[in-house]
Amino acid sequence: MVRHFLDVTDVTDEELNKLIDWGIEIKKNPEKYSSAMKDKTLLMIFAKPSLRTRLSFEVGMTQMGGHGIYYDISTSPMGKKESIPDTARTAERYCDIVMARLFEHKDIVEYAENSKIPVINALTNYSHPCQIVCDLQIIKEKKGKLNGLKLAYLGDSNNNVTHSLMHGCSKVGMNISVGCPEGEEYSPQKKVVEETEKIAEKNNCKVEIVHNSKEAVKDADVVYTDSWMSYHIDPAKKEERINKLMPFQVNSELMKFAKPDAIFMNCLPALRGYEQTAEVIDGPQSIVFDQAENRLHAQKAIMLFLLGKIK
Ligand code: CP
Ligand code: NVA
């Protein structure tokens, strides 16, 4: 049966740990995989902008001897003159694997339901699973383990990256503390909180949502933040959101509440002076560009896994 990767929960805990270790191995020995995707084509559908996702997937295919097709949705009939199922049933006749960055999560689910080739979620409004495999890989590389660590996520938490981090951390036994303003608009979806609390209980770790930034960051090994203005947020909301989210900005004062050897992460793109200060993102604890690099290695592992080329 075809495997898709629409959410971190599409893989078992064991598979997630394997993906992380494969990413580490592929990064060390890229030449071993230089023809692993020979004659394979990845279709890359984008409805939103991207730097990292677009480059890392396309370069990943090139480095493994395959090809990536960048397909800007504004030049596609999909969703306008052509249905999602018809697009999927056509693309599978040419391509071997698909990744899509769409707005609504239900659209990627519909695409996958109609696709005989693997579909990868390259970010929807709801989740960003590829990002989190890369993030867990870099945390494991920097800290030597995942189990038992504490990650503090600060800021906008009704957010794709937050949801996938909650799933990812609980699946690998990491504690996650989310610090965000009160209210539905800024908090993780209830469904994700309930799901991840169950996973965390099974894996002996904790998921907590708090509304105080210092409490969230206390003794954290990793401090993580994301944009306050995700691609799908109405630009007219900017001022209101800045006012609400500023108490959750990651700055040097806040970093003092984390462990002294804590690392700072942001999936990028980042705006200095908003979700974090320049001092933090450009400072010695920041690993954001090592983190960005791992998109390349982790996604190679995801694609090889879905095509059954690593087991
Ligand atoms: N982190 C991430 O997905 O970046 P892009 O939006 O540039 O792809
Ligand atoms: N939450 C951000 C992530 C960007 C990679 C967004 O959706 O824009």
Q: Sorting pLDDT into bands at 50, 70 and 90, what band is 15?
A: very high
Write out residues with Cβ below 6 Å of ligand 2.
123, 159-161, 226-227, 230-231, 267
Assess whether the C-beta atom of 52 lies below 6 angstroms from ligand 1.
yes
CATH of domain 8-127+292-306: 3.40.50.1370
Query: For the segment 143-179, what is each residue's pLDDT rounded down to a tens digit?
Result: 999 999 999 999 999 999 999 999 999 999 999 999 9
Mutation test residue for ligand 1: of 121, 123, 232, 271, the one with most atoms within 8 Å of CB = 123
Assess whether the C-beta atom of 76 lies below 6 angstroms from ligand 1.
no
Q: Which ligand is nearest to the CA of 54?
A: 1
Question: Any idea what DSSP says for residue 286?
Answer: B
Q: Which residues, including other chains, have CB under 8 Å from residue 307's CB and lie 6 or more apart? A: 37, 40, 96, 97, 118
C-alpha 127 to ligand 2 mean position (Å): 9
pLDDT at 164: 99
Euclidean distance between CA atoms 292 and 153, whole angstroms:
17
Residue for token pair 């959101």: 241
- Determine the angle formed by the axes of helices 160-172 and 129-143, rounding to 10 degrees: 50
Residue for token pair 């590829």: 130
Distances (CA, A) of 263 to 95, 288, 303, 307: 39, 9, 28, 34
The pTM of the full predicted model, rounded to 2 decimals, is 0.98
Mutation test residue for ligand 2: of 53, 230, 241, the one with most atoms within 8 Å of CB = 230
Distances (CA, A) of 293 to 221, 226, 244, 253, 274: 20, 17, 31, 28, 23
Residue 200: strand, helix, or coil = helix
Assess whether the C-beta atom of 271 lies below 6 angstroms from ligand 1.
no
- Spans of all domains in the chain: 8-127+292-306, 132-287
CA nearest 85: which of 102, 101, 107?
107
Q: Sorting pLDDT into bands at 50, 70 and 90, what band is 216?
A: very high
Query: For the segment 181-197, what is each residue's pLDDT rounded down to a tens digit?
Result: 999 999 999 999 999 99
Euclidean distance between CA atoms 185 and 172, whole angstroms:
28
Count of C-beta atoms within a 10 Å radius of residue 268? 16
**Which residue's C-alpha comes closest to atom 8 of ligand 2?**
230
| Domain 132-287 of CATH type 3.30.200.20 | no
**Which residue's C-alpha comes closest to atom 2 of ligand 2?**
230
CB 118 within 8 A of CB 98: yes
Euclidean distance between CA atoms 160 and 104, whole angstroms:
11
Q: Which ligand is nearest to the CA of 232?
A: 2
C-alpha 165 to ligand 2 mean position (Å): 13
Same topology for domains 8-127+292-306 and 132-287, yes or no?
A: yes
Euclidean distance between CA atoms 213 and 235, whole angstroms:
25
C-alpha 144 to ligand 1 mean position (Å): 25
Q: Sorting pLDDT into bands at 50, 70 and 90, what band is 126?
A: very high
